[in-house]
Amino acid sequence: MTQQQKWDPQRYARNAGFVATLGMPVVELLAPQPGERILDLGCGDGVLTQKLTAMGCDVVGVDASADQIEAARERGLDAHVVDCHNLEFDKEFDAVFSNAALHWMKRPAEVIAGVRRALKPQGRFVGEFGGAGNIHQVQRALSAALTRREIDMETLWPWYFPTPEEYQAELQAAGFGVQSIELIPRPTPLPGALTDWLETFAESFLPPIPTEEHANFFQEIQDDAQASLCDEQGQWTVDYVRLRFAAIQESA
């Protein structure tokens, strides 16, 4: 059982503002049309939800984090706290869009079934998230730091990084036709150090570690990853691999 990751919207904006900026190619793949009703799955603080709204779409954002939804509502968005494994919408959206969120949802069949129910017939499901091989170097350093403490990483691992073949099979099993699906290596420069990234995204690994050791734990991971992820100017770049897909709801 993994601990729920907590989201602090200000910390997220500071350390992960690039997430929405780099999500624009997924918006282009969605090709939203004015007047379309769109569900933004895992909308976070609503930066991309707001972009879709500005394009003339009628957008609903959902996210499991109450803090992020509050930040999205402060932008004037129609946003709701929802566990995306339990979507209750019924044939009301032209498209479901998701950027950098599906890797936090570890039961894909439940998520995809809810997306299918939420879509009108022929509705589109377009998204991007972490795919197989994502953050490999971070994972390696994390695993080493946990192993030194005799902690099993598997039970704390909060992410789902499938291969295209695995995710395509999930989509097809739920009645989607897959139009495109690909892995895209996207090394991503960070605005700060790896420890900032870990503080923002890797809380799930902290419960077995005494509070006074948390800073050392993240520093140890950063030191281990330095040779592979930090250049001579001190610029950190995380080894992201995106899984980008477009699918159509095909069955009745």
Binding footprint of ligand BEZ on the chain (CB under 6 A): 100, 103, 130, 134-135, 159, 201, 240
Q: Which is nearer to ligand BEZ, 176 or 240 (CB)?
A: 240
Size of the chain in residues: 252
C-alpha 223/C-alpha 202 separation (Å) is 16
Q: Minimum distance between the CB of residue 134 and ligand BEZ, rounded to whole angstroms? A: 5
Beta bridge partners of 127: 98, 245
C-alpha 96/C-alpha 134 separation (Å) is 23
Q: Minimum distance between the CB of residue 101 and ligand BEZ, rounded to whole angstroms? A: 9
Contact 222, 196 (CB under 8 A): no
Q: Which is nearer to ligand BEZ, 58 or 203 (CB)?
A: 203
Residue 66 tokens read as 């109450």
Q: Minimum distance between the CB of residue 122 and ligand BEZ, rounded to whole angstroms? A: 29
Q: Minimum distance between the CB of residue 154 and ligand BEZ, rounded to whole angstroms? A: 16
Residue at shortest CB range from ligand BEZ: 130
Q: Which is nearer to ligand BEZ, 50 or 134 (CB)?
A: 134
Q: Please report the sign of the dihedral spanned by the C-alpha atoms of residue 204, residue 205, residue 210, residue 216.
A: negative
C-alpha 53/C-alpha 73 separation (Å) is 13
Q: Which is nearer to ligand BEZ, 125 or 201 (CB)?
A: 201
Q: Which is nearer to ligand BEZ, 100 or 246 (CB)?
A: 100
Q: Minimum distance between the CB of residue 136 and ligand BEZ, rounded to whole angstroms? A: 11
Q: Which of 181, 53, 179 is nearest to 122 (CA)?
A: 179
